[in-house]
Amino acid sequence: MSRFFSSKYAGLVPYVPGEQPRSQEFIKLNTNESPFPPSSQALRAAAEAARRLNLYSDPECRALNAKLAEVYHLAPEEILCTNGSDEILNFAFMAFCDADHPAAFPNVTYGFYKVFAALNGVPYEEIPLREDFSVNVNDYVGLNKTIFIANPNAPTGLALPLADVERLVKGNPDSVVVVDEAYVDFGGESALPLVHKYDNLLVTMTFSKSRSMAGARLGFGAACKALIADLNAIKYATNPYNVNGMTMAAGIGALEDEEYTRANCRAVMETREIVTAALREMGFELGDSKANFVFPRHPKIDGRKLYEELRARGILVRHFDTPLLARHNRITIGSREQMNRLLDALENILEEC
Ligand code: PMP
């Protein structure tokens, strides 16, 4: 840190992204990317859009908003596209949280919420999960804070039924409830239909997982027009050209190829069920994930050691160095072949311990 760095950020503990090794040798199961390439329609559209990179991108994102509106049965004014869903989450902290509207989220959830809160000087409460890592909705009803709920949650993979999400939104009529649906396409129930019913609900989604576009950085939020207008005010005060032209075009291409996305999601879910059963067979304990990852632990080996043993065998998974999660690993669901390699490696490691 230089002597010029603002004291405002002195206590900031940045989010630590998963490793992104340049070597292709690793089987990469650590950052919940898709094992499948982007849709060929997305790739063609991006290549075509590259020819216009001399121009700024459309700050209103009109073509992409119109396509999203069609696919998700929303009005274009109920949508805001961002540079990954991380950006809309940060915008939500900026727009809807302050000392009078502190944030609240589960004590095990997406690690970036804490960082966004700290970055924006927002006080926050972390609400403990139940012992089985499930969210107790009763803890959130009448909370009167800006609530951030990942559904399915990360890194647990556990999902709340839509009725519970609705209870949460209804139970906090004077606060904004942000439902982060980064993983919803892998078996969760989306709260998007509730956007027309409640003026305090923001649903965020991403193209990073189910649409295989993590590197393109495209996310969006859906909410009533007034909330989207607030978020737009933040966008235009920070980065009006937040989504680049190639990404916009690729997003439209992907949305025109929904059958490809659905087939990939089905493949990931099928593989997840096979892997879950195989892990349980080996003595791992894990919940029923509704995301593109699983979150197992084994009574014989702790998470750090398992991470290291897998890494030594060329497989990257995620380990979180916190007391609550130390025994676990988060493992992305890759291709069938990658998961077979993972299961072989795990068998080998368990034999040795
Ligand atoms: N929400 C959750 C729960 C996540 O795990 C992630 C990233 N892995 C994101 C949001 C942000 O994803 P992106 O910025 O790639 O859309």
Strand partners, 298: 301
258 CA to centre of ligand 1 in angstroms: 20
State whether the beta carbon of 219 lies less than 6 angstroms from ligand 1: yes
Per-residue pLDDT band for 8 (boundaries 50, 70, 90) equals confident
237 CA to centre of ligand 1 in angstroms: 23
State whether the beta carbon of 208 lies less than 6 angstroms from ligand 1: yes
Handedness of CA 314, 316, 321, 322 (dihedral sign): negative
Q: Is the pLDDT of residue 278 over 90?
A: yes
3-state DSSP call for residue 30?
A: coil
Count the Cβ atoms, other than its own, within 10 Å of residue 102: 17
For ligand 1, mutation pick of 20, 108, 160, 180 (most atoms within 8 Å of CB): 180
**CATH number of the domain within which 76 lies:** 3.40.640.10
Torsion of CA 149, 288, 214, 102, to 10 degrees: 10
- Which residue, by CA, sits nearest to atom 6 of ligand 1? 182
State whether the beta carbon of 246 lies less than 6 angstroms from ligand 1: no
CA–CA distance, 317 with 329 (Å, rounded to integer): 7
Q: Are residues 106 and 169 in the same domain?
A: yes
pLDDT digits (tens, 9 = 90+) for 302-314: 999 999 999 999 9
CA angle 286, 290, 294 (to 5 degrees): 40
Please return the burial class of 101, using the count of CB atoms within 10 Å of its CB with bins 0-12, 13-18 and 19+.
middle
Asked if residue 1 belongs to a domain, the reply is: no
pLDDT digits (tens, 9 = 90+) for 282-296: 999 999 999 999 999
CA–CA distance, 311 with 300 (Å, rounded to integer): 18
User: Which of 215, 236, 256 is the last residue before a domain boundary?
Assistant: 256
CA angle 319, 138, 181 (to 5 degrees): 50
Tokens representing 46? 């991006």
Q: Are residues 178 and 133 in the same domain?
A: yes
Tokens representing 331? 């493992």
Asked if residue 2 belongs to a domain, the reply is: no
Asked if residue 9 belongs to a domain, the reply is: no
Q: Are residues 100 and 118 in the same domain?
A: yes
As for how many domains the chain has, the answer is 2
Give me the pLDDT at residue 149, please. Answer: 98
Count the Cβ atoms, other than its own, within 10 Å of residue 173: 12
Give me the pLDDT at residue 11, please. Answer: 83
Range of the domain at 331: 22-36+258-352
Give me the pLDDT at residue 16, please. Answer: 85
207 CA to centre of ligand 1 in angstroms: 9
Residue 103: CB partners within 8 Å, gap ≥ 6? 93, 97, 113, 117, 122, 123, 124, 125, 145, 146, 147, 148
**CATH number of the domain within which 317 lies:** 3.90.1150.10
Q: Are residues 75 and 142 in the same domain?
A: yes
Q: What is the pTM of this model?
A: 0.97
Q: Are residues 236 and 133 in the same domain?
A: yes
Q: Are residues 133 and 249 in the same domain?
A: yes
Widest CA span in the chain? 58
